[in-house]
Each structure stands twice: as C-alpha cells, then as structure tokens.
Structure 1
Amino acid sequence: MIDKLEYFLVLAREQHFGRAAVELGVTQPTLSAAIKQLEDQLGVMLVKRGSRFQELTPEGQRVLEWARRIVGDVRTLREEMRTARRGLSGHVRIAAIPTALAMVPSITTPFRGKHPNVTFSVRSCTSLQVLSLLENFEIDIGITYIEDEPLGRVVTVPLYSERYCLITAVGNQFSDRDHVTWSEVAALPLCLLTPDMQNRRIIDKHLREAGAIVQPTLESNSMILLFSHIRTGKWASIMPMNLTEVLGLAEPIRAIPITEPDVSHRVGVVALEREPHTPMVSALLYEARLAADRLPARV
C-alpha cells in the first residue's frame, strides 16, 4: 500500500494523470490501476474523473492527509536505518525566498563539513511555494519569512531580522545621504521583485504606509537581474541589508539604510511539524540554530 500512497501523493500534487505518471516514471495505465487498487482497498472513491482528472473527492482529501503522514513516517524510518548503517548521507533539498539565498551557505557549508557524504540542491521560490513544497515532501527545509503570513503546521528556527536599504549608483538622487525615508525612495525609478514575492508585498506595505503609490518601472523574480539594472546607473531598488553585506557591494553602488520607520521582518528555517523528524532534517534544524547564533540579530 505504501507505493500506492506515494503514487496518490504525486497525483494529488500534479492533478493530472499524465504528468503524475511521468513524474513517477511509470505508464499512465499503471498509475490509474494503482489508484483504482487503492480505492478498492479503502472502499472509497478518491478521485473524480471523467475523461481526465477533475479533483479529489472529500474522502480523497482525507486520505491525502493520512498519506502524507504515513509516507512521511515510512521515509523517516528508512532514513533512520540508512543512517544507522552508513552515517548521515544522501541529498538535501532546500527552497529559499530570493532575498535569503545569500544566507544559505551559513547552513550548507558547515553542514557539509560535518557530513561530507551529503549533497545539496537549492531552489529559489516564493514563500507560498516554499510551504507547498514542504507539504508535498519535495524539499527537506525551507528558508522564508516566519511572521508576516500564515505558515501552517511547521516548526521554525529564526535566523535573522531583515532590514531594508536603498540600492543606487553614486551620483543618483540621495546617493550622498546616510539614510533615506520610505516616502523619498518611492519617488525614484525602482526595480523590484515581482508581486508574488513576499518581499515585494512587505515593501509595498511600507511604501503605502508612507503615503506613496507603488509604481516600479521594472519587476523581476531574479535578484541578479535587479542588480544588473542598478549597475547601469539608471535604476534603484529596495533590498535587504544582509544581501548588500554578503555580496560586498562597492563603488559605484551604495546601500543607504531606509528609516522613518526603521522596520524589520524575521526570516528563518521552516520544516514540517512532525515527530520524529528524519535524521537529515533534525541535523539541518540543529545546524540552523548554530547559524542563528553566528549571524547578527539584525542583518
């Protein structure tokens, strides 16, 4: 039944038999047969289907909750036994909001030093995608904002408090200032992250509170693209202070703290709330706590 529950999890995530079959590496008839067998075993219909996948039934939604719990427990058991035989090894999957990507090495680098048989993949995501990936067992931990929007059933390890600054080229308006206000920044030709990013929603909120109309001249989900536009000298942006410190900005680019008000938002590591965690996740959460102790409280 475990294999069928894993098939069901992928189908619920993809909501399409063809895509789910490709993801699982099986034929579509094999997947359909497995779901039908699971329905027969449980005595309920899990999926509404016509010529294609329509939606999960109410019973299917309930089974989905159990499937996540059962499959998670089985994966934890397997990993514990593998760790008992060979030590901590395998592949760590991390998703982080774009503004936190620069802080990922504070966890992965010391972790790799302690566990050399571990490899990593890191992906850039919105805060909502981070939570969805966690829920569907597609990542082991996420790094995201932990206060401003609902997180659901997760455990959190606060890493740092994000503060904001104006990023602009020398010679531009306000570039000779020691600090600027939110209302002043709003008047500049800004390039910002796209509205689906929580960082953008935070910035929009503070600009509106300052009485400004949010009208960026360029939007992107890539921090690299934003930086490249700032370097032309024709654009400015609002970014977390920690990014400027990690990337080591130098002339002709300046980072100027935004005050009035001086605001901050907490960023941290999130993992599914479950006991026990897999050995890998437990070790990652421990490393995150160590990283939090090393990082300044406000960066």
Structure 2
Amino acid sequence: MASDMLLQHLDYLLALAAERHFGRAAARCHVSQPTLSVAIRRLEKDLGIVIVQRGHRFEGFTEEGRRVVTWAQRIIAERDDMLADLERMRGRLTVTARLGAIPTAVPASPFISGEFLRRNPAASVRIEALSSREIARQLADFEIDAGLTYLDDEAPPGTRSVVLYREQYVLVAPAANHLMNAPEVAWSDAAGLELCVLMTTMRNRRILDANMAAEGVQYRPVVEAASVDALYAHLSHSGRATIASTAWLPQLGVPAGFAARPMVQHGPRPVIGLVVPDRAPASIVAAALAEVADDVDLEAHIAAAWDAAGDRRG
C-alpha cells in the first residue's frame, strides 16, 4: 500500500462523502476533478475494493466504501488531534474549532467562542447553526468538535456534556399589547398572537408545541424560520411576537417598542449544554472547548441581560 499518499487520499474521500459530487469535492480540496478521481481510484486499488458506485455521475458508495469512509473519518480525526496536541505542547493552537449550535443557542455561543479565542489567540472558530439531530450526526462523523444543544432524551449518545444554562421562555411582543401588563403570560393567550417561531425540525419548536398542548390549545404561526435572527427581523415595525429564550437577550436584547414577559412554566426548564465526543485519547480541541464551558458562567450572563431588560418588561 502506498502509505505515503494514503492520508491525502482519505482527505479526498471525505470531501467526496461530504459533497457527494466529484466536481464540488475537487473544488473543496483545491485540486482538479481528474486529480481527485485518480486519487480515489488509487485508493481503491491499494485497498483492493470498489469504494464508489459510478455511472455518469457520483451514485453513492458501496457497502465496503461506506465502511472505508467511517474509518477515514476516525483516521483523519486522529491525525488532526495529533497535530493539535503537538501545537499545544509548543504553546500555540492554530486549529479551527468546529462548533455546531442549535439555533436557540447561537446567540449565547460568543461566550464560548470568545473565551476560547482569548485563551488560544492563534486559533479560529467556525460556528454552524444545526438541529440537535444534525449535531449528533456530525459529532459521530467527526465533522464538528463540539455541539451546543439540549441535554435531554435527544442528547447525542457517546458524548460527555457540560451544563451551561436552563432555558427560560419569555413572550416578546409590542409593549402596547395588553398581555404585557400581566406578571406572566399563559401559552393559551400567546397562541392568539401573530407568532414568529422556529421550524418544526427544531427541538425548540417541539418544546413550544408541547407547552401549547399542555394548555390544550393549538396555534398557527404566521412566520416559521430556521434562525433566531430571522425571527427578530420579522418583529420590526410589526404587531407580530415571538416566544424567546432569555439566552437571546445578551446579544439581541428586546427590540425598541417591544416588551418581554415570562411565560408560564410547565415542567422542568430545558437544559442547554456543550457536548463533546467521549473517547480516548480525547480531542485536544474538544477538551479545550469543554474547559471553557466549565469556566464560563453563562447563567450569570443571561440573568444579567434579563435584569438589564427590566425597563422593557412591560
């Protein structure tokens, strides 16, 4: 086996697995398509198997090919961890930390990424908004180093977690709305508003739906979106409302002309935490992110933002 080229071939294979298209995979690797195709064929020859189902275009992987992709993910992750460990020994991490975050946790992510960059000034961070299920998949496939997600029955298996905060829900609506005069808002009352909420693929939406159902009501949102920013954008200059997490307040606050009131709490408040793969040896980047999560008091930051929003609570 031509082991001196194997790691590069595995990089190409993982790009193909991610893009599922030879041309896009080649562009991702900054090589020509023929170069990538030849490398994949060389890998097939070295391993003595067929990896890719070929027709006029990429048609998927064979059963053996899918197994090779799984091993390639592990091997490349171990290579990257080795390089990061050597950088750490030299006192300088230059890696890119890959962080997946559910949409409701994206506004809180700067507290993690900011402290990570302060401790590792030569590093960088890539944050992607993902569903809780996609975070679980990408952690298992070594595509991200850590995830900000719910720590409940949907938490990814094979991970360890650090609790960051518990979600508290508040109604953000025009300050003139009569509901803003109440000490807290019933979900059945909020159901009558023009609500902007996240899409049904998001765990947060399923939590909101369950709270509505607990009060025996159904509701029909006027806007469904895939990001918190999109929800806030639809509040401006309108009579619409949203049910927000107080974790959004440090970054997004309460829009001018709006107020925020607590929602009635049904059951335990959902827990948000940082999850990293539970494997040995531990990923250097994942361990560094977990160390930051252990040290950052996100609950205190969120509580301070909620206190600061006091003049816009109605």
Deviation at 1:166, TM superposition (A): 0.9
User: Structure 1 unaligned runs (5+)?
Assistant: none
Structure 1 213/250 Cα, relative in aligned 2: closer, same or farther at 3 Å?
closer
1:289 and 2:294 aligned: yes
1:182 and 2:209 aligned: no
1:122 to 103, 113, 127: 127
1:75 to 72, 77, 80: 80
2:258 to 242, 245, 253: 253
Give CA deviations for 1:76-128 in whole Å, capped at 9, x if unaligned.
11221222235233332323222112212222233333222223333333333
Q: Is the 8 A contact 1:95 1:125 kept in 2?
A: yes
Which residue of structure 2 lines up, in the alignment, with residue 58 of structure 1?
63
Give CA deviations for 1:199-249 in whole Å, capped at 9, x if unaligned.
122212222332222310112223233223334241111111222355443
1:198 to 203, 206, 214: 203
Which residue of structure 2 lines up, in the alignment, with residue 160 of structure 1?
165
TM-score, normalised with respect to structure 1: 0.89
Give CA deviations for 1:53-92 in whole Å, capped at 9, x if unaligned.
1121111222222111111111111221222235233332
Q: Is the 8 A contact 1:96 1:122 kept in 2?
A: yes
Deviation at 1:17, TM superposition (A): 1.4
Distance in structure 1 (CA, Å) of the matches to 2:43 and 2:111: 43
Which residue of structure 2 lines up, in the alignment, with residue 48 of structure 1?
53
1:85 to 54, 76, 90: 90
Distance in structure 2 (CA, Å) of the matches to 1:170 and 1:212: 24
Q: Is the 8 A contact 2:74 2:142 kept in 1?
A: no
1:104 to 87, 94, 109: 109
Q: What CA RMSD, in Å, does the superposition of the two structures yield over aligned residues?
A: 2.4
Distance in structure 1 (CA, Å) of the matches to 2:203 and 2:50: 37
1:29 and 2:34 aligned: yes
Q: Is the 8 A contact 2:169 2:262 kept in 1?
A: yes
Q: Secondary structure at the match of 2:97?
A: strand
Which residue of structure 1 lines up, in the alignment, with residue 311 of structure 2?
none
Select between 205-214 and 41-50 the one with higher mean Cα deviation: 205-214
Distance in structure 1 (CA, Å) of the matches to 2:116 and 2:302: 23
Which residue of structure 1 lines up, in the alignment, with residue 282 of structure 2?
277
Structure 1 193/134 Cα, relative in aligned 2: closer, same or farther at 3 Å?
same
Distance in structure 1 (CA, Å) of the matches to 2:95 and 2:68: 29
Deviation at 1:250, TM superposition (A): 6.8
Letter in 1 for 2:164: L
Structure 1 50/150 Cα, relative in aligned 2: closer, same or farther at 3 Å?
farther
Q: Secondary structure at the match of 2:152?
A: coil
Structure 1 70/117 Cα, relative in aligned 2: closer, same or farther at 3 Å?
same
Distance in structure 2 (CA, Å) of the matches to 1:181 and 1:4: 57
Select between 68-77 and 236-245 the one with higher mean Cα deviation: 236-245
Give CA deviations for 1:171-207 in whole Å, capped at 9, x if unaligned.
1141111101122211111011222322122212222
Q: Secondary structure at the match of 1:104?
A: helix
Distance in structure 2 (CA, Å) of the matches to 1:110 and 1:128: 26
Q: Is the 8 A contact 1:157 1:285 kept in 2?
A: yes
Q: Is the 8 A contact 2:102 2:131 kept in 1?
A: yes
Q: Secondary structure at the match of 1:261?
A: coil
Give CA deviations for 1:143-181 in whole Å, capped at 9, x if unaligned.
122214252433322211112111111111411111011
Count, aligned residues: 298
Distance in structure 1 (CA, Å) of the matches to 2:151 and 2:88: 30
Q: Is the 8 A contact 2:132 2:154 kept in 1?
A: no
Distance in structure 2 (CA, Å) of the matches to 1:25 and 1:195: 37
Percent of matched pairs sharing the same residue: 34
1 or 2 for the larger relative contact order (CA 8 Å, sep ≥6)? 1
Q: Secondary structure at the match of 2:272?
A: strand
